[in-house]
Amino acid sequence: MADQQVVAHPDAAASAEFARVPSDERIAKAAAALERNGIRPLLAATGADARGLVGSLLTDGAEVYNNTSQTLEAIGVADDIERSGRYQPLRLRLYRMDREMQAREMRTLAASPDYVVGSVHALTENGSLLIASASGSQLGPLASGAGHVILVIGAQKIVSDVATGMRRIYEYCYPLEDARARRAYGVPSGVNNILIINKVIIPGRVTAIIVSERLGF
C-alpha cells in the first residue's frame, strides 16, 4: 500500500458501494453463513442493543482487551470496558507500563486476554470475516490468542465475497483509517496485515453481533 500517501477520503463510488446498510434478507444470509462457519451470530437492531449484548457476553472480573474501534466507541462499549469497573481493562494496564522496561510483559498481556472485543472491515455473504491491521497487534488474539472473541459489525460491512471485501478494505476503510491515524497519532496507517477468518474450530469462541445500522467504517 502507498503508505506515505495522504488520502483523506474514499471516492464517491466507494462510499456509495460500501457505506450502505443492506436489506434484512442479506443480513440474515450473512448471519446464517457465519453459523455454518462455527461463528455464533447475534442480530441487533441498534447500537444500543449491541452494547447490551456485549455486556451480557462478558464475564465480570475478566481481562478484556478492547481493540481500537470506531464502532465500539460510537456505541459506548469502549467506555463500558474501560470505565465501568466490571472488568479488568487491559488497555489501562498496558498504558501504565514502561515501554522500555516492560515490553515483554506488555506483549504477553496483550496477546492472550480472556476476551477481545473488536470489529471487522468486511463480512462476506459466505460468512468470512476480513480484518486489516497496520501493526498486526490485533490479529493474533483474534485468530487464536484470546479466550473469547466478540465482534460488533455494522451491517454496511457486509459484502458479496472475499474479493469485494479486499476492495472494501483498500478503497474505503484504508483512506478513512489513514486520516484517523494521522489525526490521532501523527503517522500514516497501512494495510500491512490482513486476517481472513473462514471457519472457527472451537465452538462458541467467536461471536459476531451484526447491527442493522451503519457503524464505524
Partner 1 sequence: MSMFDYDARPVTPGVVLVGTRASHGAYAIRDFLSRNGYPFEWVDVDRADAVAAVLAGAGVDPSALPLCILPDGSRLPCATVEQVAAGLGMIAAPSRSEYDLMIVGAGPAGLAAAVNAASEGLRTVVMEAVAPGGQAGTTSMIENLLGFPNGISGSELATRAVVQARRFGAELLLARPLVGVSPDGLGHVAELSDGTLIRGRGVLFASGVEWRRLDVPGVDDLLGAGVYYGAGPSEALACTDSRVVVVGGGNSAGQAVVRFSRYAQQVTLLVRGRDLGASMSHYLIDQVTAIPNIEVRVRTQVVGIEADDRLRAVIVRSGDATEPAWLPVDALFICIGGAPRTDGAAGSGLVTNTAGYLVTGSEVAREPGIDWPLRREPLPLETSRPGVFAAGDVRYGSVKRCAAAIGEGSMAVALVHRRLAEVGGG
Site string for partner 1, 1-40 (x = CB under 8 A): ----------------------------------------
Q: Does 134 bind partner 1 (CB under 8 A)?
A: yes
Select the residue interacting with partner 1 from 71, 156, 207, 212 (CB under 8 A). Answer: 71
Q: Are 68 and 45 in contact (CB under 8 A)?
A: no
Residue 25 or 100: which CB sits closer to partner 1?
100
Kindly identify the residues of this chain, within the stretch 81-110, that bind partner 1 according to CB under 8 A.
82-83, 85, 88-102, 104-106, 110
Residue 214 in grid coordinates: 451503519
- Binding-site size, partner 1 (CB under 8 A): 56
Q: In the complex, which residues of this chain contact partner 1 (CB under 8 A)?
A: 61, 66-73, 78-79, 82-83, 85, 88-102, 104-106, 110, 118-121, 131-135, 137-138, 173-174, 177, 180-181, 184-185, 187, 189-191, 216
